[in-house]
Chains A and B, each alone.
Chain A
Amino acid sequence: DAGVIQSPRHEVTEMGQEVTLRCKPISGHDYLFWYRQTMMRGLELLIYFNNNVPIDDSGMPEDRFSAKMPNASFSTLKIQPSEPRDSAVYFCASTSLRSSTSGREVGTGELFFGEGSRLTVL
């Protein structure tokens, strides 16, 4: 089975530019999380969705950040305008509380992480 897929893997941009990070969760998962990882602040939860609905965005740093989940198989995290302090690795993760269609329980709370998108804002 395909895991969580994130793109791009690496992005280098200049301050002020718009950045869009993309995530495809594991099929059947109903929770999607966006995390940011930096040396200074570790892993920070930015926002999470349940059934495509944003549940808690209290971790979103400021209005420059926005996230959407138009359907169960796609989510975006957008930064506009980007700033050098946004440089970080952004992880998307998904999980489910329901059993999968194959019968194997996936509701163990295990977060399945993508490989991350490393963003550098110059």
Chain B
Amino acid sequence: AQKVTQAQTEISVVEKEDVTLDCVYETRDTTYYLFWYKQPPSGELVFLIRRNSFDEQNEISGRYSWNFQKSTSSFNFTITASQVVDSAVYFCALSSYNFNKFYFGSGTKLNVKP
């Protein structure tokens, strides 16, 4: 069965703090993709990153970084020096190799306070 677990329902930090959002997944596929999406208060869902199951290199994009560890089935997302604009709900998602099914976690609501 495919499953994505985001155990942190809500996190509150003060601006400039670093914060890590956890994502654990389950799949029987040998090839799969992992994603992070952001849903700001305005409601739209914004794509942040895609990771292939055969590429465990960590990735950094500005203040964002992702740590993919196949051994622990985790794909964690870290925001460095958080800003108020980072306040949103963040979803981790898993898809099969041909993208024909996307499984979303329950989301983590991040509150960044000034």
Are chains A and B native binding partners rather than an unrelated pairing? yes
CB atoms of B35 and A42 under 8 A apart:
no
CB contact list, B50-64 vs A, under 8 A: 50
- Total A residues in contact with B, Cβ cutoff 8 Å: 25
Asked if A12 CB lies within 8 Å of chain B CBs, one says no
The size class of the interface chain B forms with chain A is 20 to 34
Contacts of B95 in A (CB 8 A): 109
Given A42-B104, A42-B107, A109-B50: A91 touches B45 (CB 8 Å cut-off):
yes
Knowing A43-B91, A116-B43 are in contact, say whether A111-B106 is a contact too (CB < 8 A).
no
CB neighbours (8 Å) of A109 from chain B are 33, 35, 50, 95, 99
- Please determine whether A113 and B99 come into contact, CB atoms closer than 8 angstroms: no
Per DSSP, chain A at the interface is strand
- A95 and B99 contact, CB distance less than 8 A: yes
User: How far, in angstroms, from A111 to B35 measured CA to CA in the complex?
Assistant: 10
What chain A residues lie within 8 Å of B104 (beta carbons)? 35, 42-43, 45
**B40-54 with Cβ < 8 A to chain A:** 43-45, 47, 50
Chain B neighbourhood of A110, CB < 8 A: 35, 47, 50
Contact check, B107 vs A116: say whether CB atoms are below 8 A apart.
no
Closest to A118 in B: B43
Q: Is the CB of A111 within 8 A of B47?
A: yes
Using a CB–CB cutoff of 8 Å, the interface residues on chain A facing chain B are 31, 33, 35, 42-43, 45, 48, 50, 55-56, 89, 91, 93, 95, 97, 107-113, 115-116, 118
Q: Which residues of B contact A (CB under 8 A)?
A: 33, 35, 37, 43-45, 47, 50, 91, 95, 98-107
Closest 6 CB pairs of A and B: A113-B45, A43-B104, A109-B99, A42-B106, A110-B47, A109-B33
